[in-house]
Amino acid sequence: DGGITQSPKYLFRKEGQNVTLSCEQNLNHDAMYWYRQDPGQGLRLIYYSQIVNDFQKGDIAEGYSVSREKKESFPLTVTSAQKNPTAFYLCASRQADYGYTFGSGTRLTVV
Amino acid sequence: GQQVMQIPQYQHVQEGEDFTTYCNSSTTLSNIQWYKQRPGGHPVFLIQLVKSGEVKKQKRLTFQFGEAKKNSSLHITATQTTDVGTYFCAGYYNQGGKLIFGQGTELSVKP
């Protein structure tokens, strides 16, 4: 079955630590996205990539970094510069003129 | 900047009652999409509206796109407990190629 796989499902980060969230898709979609969701709020765009080896900052990119070396993969690193990283992180992909397909998400908690 | 406002934030209904959520953008949208997120889950794409004044139906769900392509609504007729979740609208703007999500409407249905 085609889809998006995010891992891990739950992640705990210590203060000052960088962590990387994995996102892999086998849908052959060109565009991929990372969103952050806080309780009771909508989705806010962190980074997006419309093609391999290219990506753009979204609305809340500070404290995050990404790479897009392969079409299938779009990992997100939450750096120590992100002061409030506890949230639900969603990865999505899209083929032109259609809706987004989301992964099942990663819940990140700072301990 | 580009922003999509969605109301209400919460809606509690008795099973069998109707439900409507509204979205509004300050600028013209290229298209609007609707998603449903079940509690603890990830957003799932429902539909995309592209044309001015467009109306689409999916069983008990009716989606409308305003004539000016600045607002949209989702109406559910005779709600069921399976309709529980948060409904998000998301506006796509020609500039920037990114989807902007509304804050979502959380629907609870009392049997």
Short-list B70, B97, B55, CA closest to B3: B70
For residue B64, the one-letter residue type is Q
Residue position matching structure tokens 């953008």: B25
A10 and B CB contact within 8 Å: no
For residue B60, the one-letter residue type is R
Residues in A closer than 8 angstroms to B41, CB to CB, are: 104
CB–CB of B100 and A45 under 8 A?
yes
The phi-psi region of residue B103 (left if phi > 0; otherwise alpha if psi is between -120 and 50; otherwise beta) is alpha
Tell me: the pLDDT tens digits for A5-48?
999 999 998 888 999 999 999 999 999 999 999 987 789 999 99
Residues in A closer than 8 angstroms to B100, CB to CB, are: 45
Full pLDDT tens readout for chain B, 111 residues:
678 999 999 999 999 999 999 999 988 999 999 999 999 999 999 999 999 999 999 999 999 999 999 999 999 999 999 999 999 999 988 766 678 999 999 999 999
CA distances from A16 to A23, A85, A94, B87 (A): 23, 11, 33, 35
A61 and B CB contact within 8 Å: no
Å between A97 CA and nearest CA of chain B: 9
Residues in B closer than 8 angstroms to A27, CB to CB, are: none
| Predicted confidence (pLDDT) at residue A95 exceeds the cutoff of 90 | no
